[in-house]
């Protein structure tokens, strides 16, 4: 019985570490676009003052202002997905939520590589990843980003 409890505690700790990494990723990414992650909320009416390039046909690509912060975020999402696959994949009794968490991480990586606005990433973090991690690994998360 003790071994099972220790495994559960370890999964919760590893799940919390992934959630904290996701917050760091979001903060770095937001910083890259000169947006303060702590000032953002779920309000999608946030007006971006970022530089962007209009490609016509209603397509706009956001251009990061701080390439170092952008690169840190990109590297960290790859590390976080790797950590998830090694430390957590296949260990939750809630398989659906575990898969949703991994899909959210992949969606976050894709959005970052597509230079989506930070507000788009905020929706992925708080709407997909955090709730899935909470369900899959029994986390108690606060809305820190």
User: How do the domains of the chain map onto residue ranges?
Assistant: 2-37+63-137
pTM: 0.78
pLDDT in the model for residue 140: 79
Quick one: tokens of 15?
């799940």
Summarised one tens digit per residue, pLDDT across range 6-52 is 555 688 889 999 999 999 999 999 999 887 654 444 333 333 333 44
What average pLDDT does this structure show over 55-76? 79
Helix ranges (H only) for 33-94 are 67-83
Summarised one tens digit per residue, pLDDT across range 109-139 is 999 999 999 999 999 999 999 999 999 998 8
Measured CA to CA, the distance from residue 84 to residue 49 in angstroms comes to: 34
Give the rounded percent of residues in the chain with a pLDDT score beyond 70. 72
What average pLDDT does this structure show over 91-102? 94
pLDDT in the model for residue 138: 86
Cβ(11)–Cβ(91) under 8 Å? yes
Q: Dihedral, CA atoms, 56, 108, 29, 118, nearest 10 degrees? A: 50
For the range 41-45, what are the long-range contacts, defined as Cβ-Cβ under 8 Å and sequence gap of 24 or more? 42/122, 42/123, 42/126, 44/119, 44/123
């Amino acid at each position: 019985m003790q071994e099972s409890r220790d495994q559960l505690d370890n999964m919760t700790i590893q799940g919390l570490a992934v959630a904290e990494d996701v917050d760091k990723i979001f903060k770095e990414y937001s910083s890259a676009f000169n947006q303060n992650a702590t000032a953002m909320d779920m309000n999608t009416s946030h007006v971006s003052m970022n530089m962007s390039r209009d490609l016509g046909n209603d397509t706009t690509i956001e251009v990061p202002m701080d390439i170092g912060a952008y690169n840190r975020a990109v590297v960290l999402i790859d590390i976080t997905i790797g950590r998830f696959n090694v430390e957590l994949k296949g260990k939750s009794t809630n398989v659906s939520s575990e898969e949703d968490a991994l899909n959210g991480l992949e969606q976050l990586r894709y959005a970052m590589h597509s230079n989506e606005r930070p507000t788009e990433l905020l929706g992925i973090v708080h709407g997909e990843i955090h709730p899935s991690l909470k369900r899959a690994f029994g986390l108690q998360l606060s809305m820190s980003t």
